[in-house]
A and B are shown apart, each in its own frame.
Chain A
Amino acid sequence: MEQFLQVTISGLATGAIFAISAVGFALLWQTAGAVNFAHGEFIMVPAVLILALGTQEPTVGIPDFIPLIGGANIGVALPSAGLPWGLLIGFALTIPIAIFLLGYLFKVSLVDRLLQPGGDDIPLVIATIGLGLFLREYVHEAWFATPQPFPSVFGNGFWRPGGVAISADDIGIIVACTIVIGALQFFIKRTYLGRQMEAAAQNAETARVLGIPVNRMVLLTFAINAVLVTIAGLLVSPAINARWDAGINLGLLAFTAAIIGGFNQVRGALYGGFLVGVIQNWSGAYLSTLYRDAGPLLLLILVILVRPQGLFGRAEERRI
């Protein structure tokens, strides 16, 4: 029983991260029709940036980072009294960079050029696979090939109420993700701007007729996605380290969560994320640690077979 609780809680924590990633992925798919096969790399790159910009360790600092900056170490070294300041500053610096690179630049240089309304989505799929390769190999070649330890914002504490070992990191992740998704949900459902964004996602044609600036709403979605992947990178990396090849698994599990949950923007991806996290941890604990990822992947194939609109989606909500 203790083990079950423990496994489920850490499953929920992993799942919370998948949920944020999946929400971003689903937002892009729904609002812009953009299927992003580099989504996993979109989580990996901010993690590496956070480390590079905020680390007190010169080993992964700017010098080997972008040769353009000219070898100056602008990594921020602050006394880490209580809070992991370096990490938080790295995070704060990464957000605008991510919004520009993974949001704006991605949209105007690839998505806008390759996605004609009513056209084929395969060219963008191909290009984003190329983008994923580019980002992976770039990090591998220009930054580091070996996994780098990544500190947790929530520290390494443990509680043991009644024999169940609960890590501060897991609880912190669950709380942080709940807040992030709650805020996003509030924005989309309760604010005028959010509803305009949702309107553009649900029916771009009607939104245009009403004078909703659809293109700006799509750009907003890309920016939100960039913020979400940065948060996901910050939260997921302590468990898996910052590594150049993390994106393959992260991306696949995010797609899996989004597809399993269904394309109801936030809700489906949210449930899908938690489900994938919990199933992954259950299969790791009760089947075999070697087959941790097999459970979610089998479920993905099963869902596409029997319920392509997703477990929580309604058929008419899937646009593609």
Chain B
Amino acid sequence: MAESVNVPQSKAADGSDALDQPDFENRRDKIAIVDRGRLSPSLIALVSMLGAAVAVMPVGRAGFDGVIGLWFLSVLLLVGVNVAVPLDTRNGQMVRWISTATFVAFMMLFPIGKSGATMTDFGLFAIFGAVVVGMNLTQGFAGQVSLAPAAFLGIGSYTSVLLDMGEEVTVAGVTVDLPDLPFLATIPIAIVVCMLLSVLIGFPALRVRGPWLAFVTLAFSLLVFLVLNNEDGLTRGSRGIRVLRNDFEIFGIDMLPTHNFYYAGLFYLFFSLTVVWWIVRSPWGRALKAIRDNSGRASSLGVDVRNYTLLGFAVGSGLAGGAGALYARQVEYIEPRSYFVNQTIDFFLATVAGGLGTLAGPLIGGSLITLVADYLRFTGDWYRVWFGLFVMVMMVVAPEGLAGSFNRFRAWVQKRVDS
């Protein structure tokens, strides 16, 4: 109890930097994986068998006939193991890797013996899944709402299709001869065009704090729709364009059959997931997280909030653009109405419902608006009413979405198990 003048404490009391810095560092630690415990061979064997069962069971069965119950049971068990084994142990890491591999294997093997219609649905799931992955980067990691993914999907579709037809187009009285590029070459062009446009509109919107990006992207969506719908000389307006999958070969494999084309979409989905996974783990991704969690604090740390957020938005929009190129070939017919605000709202639903700021969330969300929505068709469009309600209720009771709720559930279970 000496009456000493305490200098270091006074620094902490009036300058906030000293207090904030360690907190930012903590976020980094959470990402680092702690190796703990020993691998249990029997657990790994069990999980591998479950995974193999999940991946192999649907093979060659058009409608899962006979095995659907068993398949769901295996999936549930796999999820159960994921819940029960703590992630920060060697076992937990292994279980996660096996589960990821199971997902990949399932998606790869699934087409065998399936009908064309089923594969169209799954192809759409893969492509829309990629859009949602991109949107999740903008919204879940960069914390900004973009209401333009459908517009970027459309820009990607039209860019890719027009550059692949070799026809002349007329815009505002000027006639231009467009090249006939190979399809694969148009994908990166579509991505770059969308990224550039998103920088152009995101730049002013992100200058000030607040939901300005949402307003600007909504306005942009309507402008894009107007252009697509009205520039007959360029887009053939509301009549749309029939798209042919004729010149499309990858490594000598003809992409014309629906089953083969599905793999193109699936590859793009994996590509998008990898890009986002890489970004999230990079210093940039950590900065994005810091921005989302506390914009004021991040900027006081010298993180250039605006540039990071803008980049997140640009990459998200670029992924939507590339998906647009694939989408055009998947559905083989493009028209402006497919890219209107309702489509954006679907992507938005998927992003929010799946879970913001997670990697699995967009997959869950993407399946919600394609596969699940397809099963709900019998309700007319009533399922969209429930989706709207679902988003509101979710924001109030579980703003972290389905994937986030799963994580919370796992944490809760493990706390129980520990004690």
Contact = CB atoms under 8 A, between A and B. Distances in A.
A291 B144 CA distance: 28
A11 to B, nearest CB: 19
A140 B385 CA distance: 9
Contact of B143 (A113, A122, A304, A305): A122
B388 A131 contact: yes
Interface string A293-309: 11001101100110010
A138 interface: yes
Contact of B385 (A37, A123, A141): A141
Interface in B266-310: none
A131 B392 contact: yes
A308 B213 CA distance: 12
A249 B341 CA distance: 10
Size category of the B interface is 35 or more
Contacts of B349: 130, 133
Contact of A304 (B204, B209, B385, B396): B204
A259 interface: yes
A304 B226 contact: no
A308 B212 contact: yes
Given A290-B230, A297-B222, A123 B395 contact: yes
Contacts of B103: none
Interface in A130-166: 130-138, 140-141
A290 B352 CA distance: 34
Contact of A297 (B207, B219, B341): B219
A126 B145 contact: yes
Give chain A's interface secondary structure class: helix
Contacts of A320: 208-210
B248 interface: no
Contact of A290 (B226, B345, B388): B226
Count class of interface residues, chain A: 35 or more
A246 interface: no
A137 B210 contact: no
Max chain B C-beta neighbours (<10 A), residue from A114, A130, A134, A320: A130
Given A122-B145, A126-B395, A259-B215, A133 B230 contact: no
Contacts of A120: 143
Contacts of A134: 385, 388-389, 391-392
Interface in B330-350: 341, 345, 348-349
Contact of A138 (B208, B212, B348, B385): B385
Interface in A68-121: 109-110, 113-114, 120-121
A101 to B, nearest CB: 14
A134 B386 CA distance: 7
B388 A130 contact: yes
A127 interface: yes
Contacts of B388: 130-138
Contacts of A259: 215
A126 B230 contact: no
B232 to A, nearest CB: 10
A285 B213 CA distance: 30
A304 B392 contact: no
A256 interface: yes
Interface of B: 139, 143-145, 147, 201, 203-205, 207-212, 214-216, 218-220, 222-223, 226, 229-230, 341, 345, 348-349, 352, 380-382, 384-385, 387-392, 395-396, 399
13 contacts: A109-B396, A110-B392, A127-B395, A129-B391, A130-B389, A133-B349, A133-B384, A138-B385, A138-B388, A141-B380, A256-B215, A288-B230, A300-B216
Interface of A: 35, 37, 109-110, 113-114, 120-127, 129-138, 140-141, 248-249, 252, 255-256, 259, 288, 290-291, 293-294, 297-298, 300-301, 304-305, 308, 320
